[in-house]
Amino acid sequence: MVAQVVSPLHSTTDPTYQTALRQYDRAVAYLSNLPDGLIEFMKWPRRELSVNFPVRMDDGQVHVFTGYRVHHNTVLGPSKGGIRYSSHVNLDEVRALAMWMSWKCALVNLPYGGAKGGVVVDPYKLSETELANLTRRFTSEIILLIGPKIDIPAPDMGTNAQTMAWMMDTYSMTVGYSVPAVVTGKPLNIGGSLGREEATGRGVIVCMLEALRQLEMVRSPRDISVVVQGFGNVGVHAANRAHALGFKVIAVSDVTGGYYNPKGLDIPAMKLYTARNRTLSGYTGDAEKITNAELLELPCDVLLPCALEGQLTGQNAAKIKAKLVVEGANGPTTPEADDILRDRGITVVPDILANAGGVTVSYFEWVQGLQEYFWDEDEVYRRLERILVRAYDEVVTTSEKFNVDMRTAAQITAINRVAQATLTRGFYP
Ligand code: NAD
C-alpha cells in the first residue's frame, strides 16, 4: 500500500528544496523495483525541531533567534550534517540540505544518516561574545536531538571550528563529562582531526583530477584553467590545493565580488588576505575586479562552484564556458541547468560526491574521538582519497549502466543503498 503523506512539504516554494525533491524524483524513477511506500518514506525528513531562543547582546538588549535541526534519514546510523548560520536559513532549505546529507553519506559508504541545522542570523554582524552566547543557547535548545550516537553536527556556511568548540563544550557541560565525538570539525587541541579543515576542498580536487582523467583532459596542470566561486572553507582549500598542484587558478570570488587574472592568481596571498580581513574586499593584488555573474561565465576548463545553492540555473547554463563543473557547494545547479549542461556536453561532478571529503574526514574525526586514538595527516589523506576515488568509480559505473548523468547516477547509487538497508532492517514494529 502507498503511504499517504499529508504534508505541506508537497507544496514547497523554496528553490533549494524543490531542487532536492526533483533530483530525488528523477533518481527513483530508475529504481522501479522499490515499493512505493519506501520511496515515499525516504523522501521526507524523519524528524524536525524548530526553536526560538533569546540571546543577550553586547548592548544589553535581548534578541530572539530562530533555529532548526532536521534529521532526514537515520537508517544507516546516527545522523550527520552541518550547522549553517545565515540570514537566508529557512526550514525548507535545512530539509533539502539534510536530504543531501543522507545521500552523500550513503554514497561514500559512511555509517551515517543525514541531518542539517541552522540559525537565521548574519554571523558577521555579531561580536565574538554574541556568537558564543547564540551558539551555546542554540546547542542547549537542540540538545535532545544531538549526541555522539544520535546526531553529530559539523561546520557549514557561516560556522567554523570555534563554533564546534562551543557546541562541544555546551554539550559536555550538560552531561557532566567531555564528549569530543558530539561534533566534528573541532579545533585540533580538543580532539579535532588533522586534515579536517582542508578536507572538503581537497576532496573537490580529488574529484576534479578523476574527472580530468576520465575526460582525457590530461594536459600539464599549468595549461588547465580553474575558476572558483566562493572563498570560504571549501573554496579557499580547493583553490589552494589546485594552485599547489600547479593548476592555473584564474578567478576566485566571495560575497563581495570576484578577481580575475587569465595568467593565474596568487592564491596563497589571497588566502592570507582573507584570513586577515575575513573577505576579499579591498584585495589589491594583480587581478581585474569582476562580478560573481561574470565569474561563472568566464572561459575556463574547470568551474568549481563552492559558495551556495542555485548558482547555475536555466538563465545562465547556456553561457557557461567550462568543460567540467565540480560542485564544492551543496545544490549549486538547478535541474534546468543540469539538463542544459548535459545537452551541451559539460560534465558535472555532483555535490554529494564532489564535496563528500568533508563528511568523510568528519567520520574519521568521530572514529578517532570515540577511540581516543589519533592519526597522522598522511593517513587521513590516504584514506580520504581511497574512499572518494572508489565512490567516483561507482558513480561512473552506474551512469554507464543507466545511461544517465553523474548526478542522477550518484543519487541512484545512494538512494538504493538506503533503500536496501531499510528493507533488510524491516519496518518497525
Ligand atoms: P563559508 O561560509 O566558509 O564560505 C562561503 C563562501 O561563499 C564565502 O567566501 C562567502 O563570501 C561566499 N559567498 C556567499 N554568498 C555568495 C554569493 N552570493 N556569491 C558568491 N560568493 C558568495 O562556507 P563553506 O563551509 O565554504 O560552504 C560553502 C558551500 O559548501 C555551502 O554550500 C556548504 O553547504 C558546502 N559544503 C561545506 C562543507 C564544509 O566542510 N564546510 C562540506 C560540504 C559542503
Residues 260-290: tens digit of each pLDDT: 999 999 999 999 999 999 999 999 999 999 9
Does the beta carbon of 229 sit less than 6 angstroms from any atom of ligand 1?
Answer: yes
Is the separation of the CB atoms in 152 and 78 below 8 Å?
yes
What does the radius of gyration of the chain's CA atoms come to, in whole angstroms?
A: 21
Q: How confident is the model at residue 1 (pLDDT cuts 50, 70, 90)?
A: very low
CA distances from 383 to 108, 274, 311, 380, 420 (A): 12, 30, 31, 5, 26
User: 3-class SS at 53?
Assistant: strand
Does the beta carbon of 231 sit less than 6 angstroms from any atom of ligand 1?
Answer: yes
Q: How confident is the model at residue 141 (pLDDT cuts 50, 70, 90)?
A: very high
Q: Read off the pLDDT of residues 318-359 as tens digits, 9 standing for 90 and up.
A: 999 999 999 999 999 999 999 999 999 999 999 999 999 999
Phi, psi of 339 (to 5 degrees): -65, -45
Torsion sign (Cα): 37, 8, 352, 101: negative
Please, is 256 exposed, middle or buried when counting C-beta atoms within 10 Å of its C-beta (0-12, 13-18, 19+)?
middle
| Nearest atom within ligand 1 for CA of residue 307 | 7
383 pLDDT higher than 50: yes
DSSP state of 192: P
pLDDT at 9: 52
423 CA to centre of ligand 1 in angstroms: 36
| Nearest atom within ligand 1 for CA of residue 308 | 32
Of all protein residues, the one whose alpha carbon is nearest to atom 39 of ligand 1 is: 156
Contacts 24+ apart (CB under 8 A), 61-64: none
Choice among 104, 116, 248, 323 that is catalytic: 116
- pTM, full prediction: 0.97
Of all protein residues, the one whose alpha carbon is nearest to atom 38 of ligand 1 is: 156
% of the chain at pLDDT higher than 90: 97
300 pLDDT higher than 90: yes
Average pLDDT over residues 94-100: 98
CA distances from 193 to 180, 199, 362, 380 (A): 11, 10, 8, 8
116 is annotated as an active-site residue: yes
**Which residue from 70, 84, 88, 156 has its CB within 8 A of the most atoms of ligand 1, so it is best to mutate?**
156
Please, is 321 exposed, middle or buried when counting C-beta atoms within 10 Å of its C-beta (0-12, 13-18, 19+)?
middle
147 pLDDT higher than 70: yes
Of all protein residues, the one whose alpha carbon is nearest to atom 36 of ligand 1 is: 329
Contacts 24+ apart (CB under 8 A), 363-366: 363/80, 363/110, 363/111, 363/112, 363/184, 364/193, 364/195, 364/196, 365/184, 365/185, 365/186, 365/191, 365/192, 365/193, 365/196, 366/148, 366/152, 366/181, 366/184
For residue 89, the tally of other CB atoms under 10 A from its CB is 23
Q: How confident is the model at residue 426 (pLDDT cuts 50, 70, 90)?
A: very high
2 pLDDT higher than 50: no
Of all protein residues, the one whose alpha carbon is nearest to atom 23 of ligand 1 is: 157
Is the backbone of residue 191 left (phi > 0), alpha (psi -120 to 50) or beta?
Answer: left
Q: Read off the pLDDT of residues 157-200 as tens digits, 9 standing for 90 and up.
A: 999 999 999 999 999 999 999 999 999 999 999 999 999 999 99
DSSP state of 312: B
234 CA to centre of ligand 1 in angstroms: 6
% of the chain at pLDDT higher than 70: 98
State how far the Cα of 333 lies from the Cα of 413, in Å rounded to an integer.
19
Cis link prior to 429 (omega < 30° from 0)? yes
6 CA to centre of ligand 1 in angstroms: 34
What is the overall mean pLDDT for the chain? 96
